[in-house]
Amino acid sequence: VQLDHFSNKRKVRKRAMCFIPQDSETSSSSVEESDAENFQEQGWRGGQTEIRGRVEEEEEDVADLSVFQAHSLPVTCVSLTGTLYKYRFATGIRGKCIRTEEKWFSPEEFVKQEPTLTDGHWKKDILCHEKMLNFLIKKNILRIHSLQCECVKCSTQEEDNNDDECYVCHSRGDLVCCDECPRAFHSQCHLPAVHGDSPGEWICTFCVLRTSQQWRVSSNMSEQEALDAPVSQYRLVNTHTHTNSVPRYSEFISQPMWLDRIKQKLESGEYQTVRAFVSDFQLIFSNCRTFNRDNVFGRMGARLKKMFEEEFKKIFSIQ
């Protein structure tokens, strides 16, 4: 609500007071009396608008800004959801700062993806923790760059279409970018490893897996069929981890197994069937339960085991 809007309403309220009739006036002033009532009504409504505006400003002043301190923030636009990375934000049309599962978008591009908005505006239609992006700008949580800005954020580079850190280990460096999705990887973090420059377009394991699931969705497999199926590298994702030596681990665990070892066995072709591959994963979970029992790591292992079994059924479309 702008200040001149308040000013105009105050003028209307003052003019309405001038039309209040006196006892000595005759019925010929009925038209003026009617006008006075209209002006008074407008003045009252204007006062209500002013009060609401002040209340909204007070609510903004007491809003909890701590929820906006993270480097990435959840955003929505009607039915759309995404994550806004503050360090990438530049303006509405520059700086691809909003990431979805499929792509990076500038705020203006993100709004255009919503089919129900015919005349949307990114400042008011994109919400973060139930606040418009315009609120974040007013509070200097997001800072708009000038039109003349020539910084990296304001440039239009192809690298903006992919993540700035490895999807597996979450660190930066020389990354290989997928041409189908926003993900990027270190060459050794991706499975299979990427050696040298890939000619033409390069598609990551996740996209290959998604495509595979799309054509396999109509032919559900039994768990027995899935376990006896031959192993393909695209069927394993997210197996990379940094193993740490644990004191006295060998005293409790006779058959140690870890994710890097599974990755090595997969890349060297040691697994002939999915059953052998799943067996090694189950060994990891069993060792975790034996060593950690019911402590925090044991409970984490139990949750991971449940997630693994759910994803396994999902990948092979097991009912």
CATH of the domain at 281: 1.20.920.10
Residue 213 lies in a domain: no
Residue 266 lies in a domain: yes
Rounded average pLDDT over 134-149: 93
Q: Between the CA of residue 117 and those of 28, 74, 102, 104, 197, what are the distances in Å? A: 52, 20, 20, 19, 42
Residue bearing the bigger pLDDT, 24 or 288: 288
Lowest mean pLDDT among 145-154, 214-223, 304-313: 214-223
Residue 163 lies in a domain: no
Residue 188 lies in a domain: no
- The distance of Cα 214 from the centroid of its chain, to the nearest Å, equals 24
pLDDT above 60 for 218: no
Split at pLDDT 50, 70, 90, the class of 220 is: low
Asked if 20 and 99 sit in the same domain, the reply is no
Examine the fold and report which residue of 109, 138, 167 is the final residue of a domain before the chain moves on: 138
Query: What is the per-residue pLDDT for 304?
Result: 83
Residue 76 lies in a domain: yes
Query: What is the per-residue pLDDT for 318?
Result: 67
Contact between 100 and 80 under an 8 Å Cβ cutoff? The reply is yes
Rounded average pLDDT over 112-129: 94
Lowest mean pLDDT among 54-58, 141-145, 279-283, 312-316: 54-58
Residue 35 lies in a domain: yes
Residue 195 lies in a domain: no
pLDDT above 60 for 120: yes
**pLDDT tens per residue across span 242-254:** 444 455 555 566 6
Contact between 190 and 176 under an 8 Å Cβ cutoff? The reply is yes
Query: What is the per-residue pLDDT for 235?
Result: 45
* Sign of CA pseudo-dihedral 165, 171, 173, 177: negative
Examine the fold and report which residue of 138, 165, 182 is the final residue of a domain before the chain moves on: 138
Mean pLDDT, rounded, of the chain: 74
Number of domains in the chain: 3
Examine the fold and report which residue of 138, 171, 187 is the final residue of a domain before the chain moves on: 138
Split at pLDDT 50, 70, 90, the class of 265 is: confident
Question: Which range of residues forms the domain containing residue 32?
Answer: 3-57
Q: In sequence order, which residues have a C-beta less than 8 Å from that of residue 39 and are 6 or more positions away?
A: 12, 13, 15, 16, 19
Nearest to residue 277, comparing CAs of 293, 289, 261, 256? 261
Asked if 226 and 286 sit in the same domain, the reply is yes
